[in-house]
């Protein structure tokens, strides 16, 4: 079947799941006022870090008794800081259904090895069984499994009277999905995901109980300085005013601030969630009317609205091996890139073949609508001409 090459390109071809597209209208000049070449320990630079913390809390509408810190090393730094600094006080349940949850699982199982570890693992496309979690234990999980396109639907499975802490990697969910703060003791994310900021800094949002753990408990294993969150146990700690664990990038901070100011102008987190949902709906309409593609997530309620992950479902690839399917994904990626119609829409390398399209808040719905015909074209072109 021949599908004609569309003429109407998305205005912006960046659909990568991370770093993601910057906010609409972003230009390098947005960073012109960054206080570069100065120490982060005082004056304007320190005020900028404090502002990033304040604006994060305001946009995400976190409860007054929760606190925000900036960590080194992106989301991984924030998650591993929480795991290394807090786990081991009681048993641990880890839930995982993709590469990223799998990393925390490996950290717990092979590195920290806490007593009483229970693993809840699900294959790509399926959510872990939340009903099996023991809330006497600490619970480590991922709100949106970016590589599988599978998300947690809500926090109803998390007990209000839990004894352990919930440690939630929310990197592709924060700013794009509703997060039930009262159910989350530690929530982490990076600047480059939903907000399209520059990479390398993480955020951890700490409940009063998480801070109590940091105040009262020291793990038996060594904790490298870069992962030590203990200071945050002190309610008056300087880390809450933007005194970071080590030297931050003031250019990245300026960029994150720019994204937060954009978010505020858009109308805050509910507006960002609406933008994300509109993008997802536009893509879902295309999936609905396209016979060669389907969602990887089996259960509709678990389908991520940000990292929308799709699998091939057409008769053309029936009976083909995973390697042959991946060849189609890769070829589509090359064709779309060459046409500057879509960049980076092939799945995470550890995921099944198909497509993965970022639909987070910085994407415009019109671009998602314009993308559909290009995907159709690229699929049929990849089948007809598997190589140049
Ligand atoms: C759910 C999730 N967790 C963790 C990571 C790793 O994050 P970082 O590279 O910010 O450390 C990613 C990156 O895509 C992710 O999507």
Whether 189 is covered by a domain: the verdict is: yes
CA of 178 to the centre of ligand 1 (A): 19
Domain boundary among 201, 230, 265: 265
336 and 368 part of one domain: yes
Structure-token pair, residue 69: 């810190």
Residue 254 CA to residue 252 CA, distance in Å, equals 5
177 and 288 part of one domain: no
311 and 349 part of one domain: yes
CA-307 nearest atom, ligand 1: 16
Whether 287 is covered by a domain: the verdict is: yes
Ligand 1 pocket, Cβ-based, cut-off 6 angstroms: 18, 74-76, 100, 142, 146, 169, 171-172, 190
For ligand 1, mutation pick of 16, 75, 78 (most atoms within 8 Å of CB): 75
Whether 121 is covered by a domain: the verdict is: yes
Which residues are registered as beta bridge partners of 148? none
60 and 155 part of one domain: yes
Residue nearest to atom 3 of ligand 1 (CA): 100
CA of 17 to the centre of ligand 1 (A): 10
Whether 186 is covered by a domain: the verdict is: yes
pLDDT of residue 1: 77
pLDDT of residue 340: 98
Whether 79 is covered by a domain: the verdict is: yes
Whether 34 is covered by a domain: the verdict is: no
Residue nearest to atom 16 of ligand 1 (CA): 146
Whether 50 is covered by a domain: the verdict is: yes
Closest alpha carbon to 20 in 338, 303, 342, 359:
359
For ligand 1, mutation pick of 16, 17, 18, 143 (most atoms within 8 Å of CB): 18
344 and 201 part of one domain: no
For ligand 1, mutation pick of 83, 99, 105, 146 (most atoms within 8 Å of CB): 146
**Number of compact structural domains in the chain:** 2
CA dihedral 104, 110, 112, 115 (to 10 degrees): 100
Instruction: Determine if the pTM surpasses 0.85.
Output: yes
Question: What CATH number does the domain containing 313 carry?
Answer: 3.90.1150.10
50 and 190 part of one domain: yes
Whether 2 is covered by a domain: the verdict is: no
Domain boundary among 246, 265, 284: 265
Domain boundary among 247, 265, 283: 265
pLDDT of residue 55: 98
261 and 286 part of one domain: no
293 and 341 part of one domain: yes
pLDDT of residue 292: 98
259 and 279 part of one domain: no
Residue 229 CA to residue 109 CA, distance in Å, equals 21
pLDDT of residue 2: 82
Residue 228 CA to residue 73 CA, distance in Å, equals 13
257 and 296 part of one domain: no
Question: What CATH number does the domain containing 228 carry?
Answer: 3.40.640.10
Range of the domain at 368: 268-384
307 and 158 part of one domain: no
Pairing of strands 201-206, 307-312: unpaired
| pLDDT tens for the chain, residues 1 to 388 | 789 999 999 999 999 999 999 999 999 999 999 999 999 999 999 999 999 999 999 999 999 999 999 999 999 999 999 999 999 999 999 999 999 999 999 999 999 999 999 999 999 999 999 999 999 999 999 999 999 999 999 999 999 999 999 999 999 999 999 999 999 999 999 999 999 999 999 999 999 999 999 999 999 999 999 999 999 999 999 999 999 999 999 999 999 999 999 999 999 999 999 999 999 999 999 999 999 999 999 999 999 999 999 999 999 999 999 999 999 999 999 999 999 999 999 999 999 999 999 999 999 999 999 999 999 999 999 999 999 9
196 and 298 part of one domain: no
């Amino acid at each position: 079947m021949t599908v004609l090459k569309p003429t109407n390109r998305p205005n912006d071809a960046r659909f990568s799941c991370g770093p993601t597209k910057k906010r609409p209208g972003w230009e390098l000049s947005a960073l012109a006022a960054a206080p570069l070449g100065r120490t982060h320990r005082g004056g304007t630079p320190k005020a900028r870090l404090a502002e990033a913390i304040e604006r994060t809390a305001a946009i995400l509408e976190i409860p007054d008794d929760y606190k925000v810190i900036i960590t080194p090393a992106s989301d991984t730094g924030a998650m591993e800081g929480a795991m290394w600094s807090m786990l081991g006080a009681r048993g641990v349940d880890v839930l995982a259904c993709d590469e990223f949850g799998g990393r925390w699982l490996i950290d717990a199982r092979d590195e920290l090895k806490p007593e009483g570890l229970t693993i809840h693992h699900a294959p790509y496309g399926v959510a872990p069984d939340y009903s099996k979690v023991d809330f006497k234990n600490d619970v480590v999980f991922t709100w949106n499994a970016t590589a599988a396109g599978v998300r947690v639907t809500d926090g109803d499975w998390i007990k209000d009277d839990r004894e352990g802490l919930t440690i939630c990697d929310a990197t592709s969910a924060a700013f794009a999905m509703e997060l039930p703060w009262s159910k989350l003791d530690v929530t982490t994310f990076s600047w480059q995901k939903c907000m399209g900021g520059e990479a390398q800094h993480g955020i951890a949002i700490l409940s009063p109980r998480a801070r109590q753990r940091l105040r009262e408990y020291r793990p038996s294993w060594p904790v490298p300085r870069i992962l030590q969150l203990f200071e945050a146990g002190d309610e008056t700690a300087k880390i809450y005013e933007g005194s970071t664990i080590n030297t931050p990038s003031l250019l990245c901070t300026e960029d994150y601030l720019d994204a937060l100011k954009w978010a505020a102008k858009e109308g805050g987190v509910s507006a960002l969630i609406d933008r994300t949902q509109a993008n997802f709906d536009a893509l879902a309409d295309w999936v609905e009317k396209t016979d060669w593609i389907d969602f990887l997530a089996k259960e509709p309620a678990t389908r991520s609205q940000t990292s929308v992950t799709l699998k091939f479902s057409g008769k053309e690839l029936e009976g083909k091996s995973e390697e042959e399917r991946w060849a189609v994904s890769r070829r589509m990626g090359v064709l779309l890139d060459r046409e500057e119609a879509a960049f980076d829409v092939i799945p995470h390398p550890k995921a099944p073949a198909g497509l993965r399209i970022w639909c987070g808040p910085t994407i415009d719905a019109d671009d998602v609508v314009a993308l559909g015909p290009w995907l159709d074209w690229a699929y049929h072109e990849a089948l007809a001409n598997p190589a140049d």
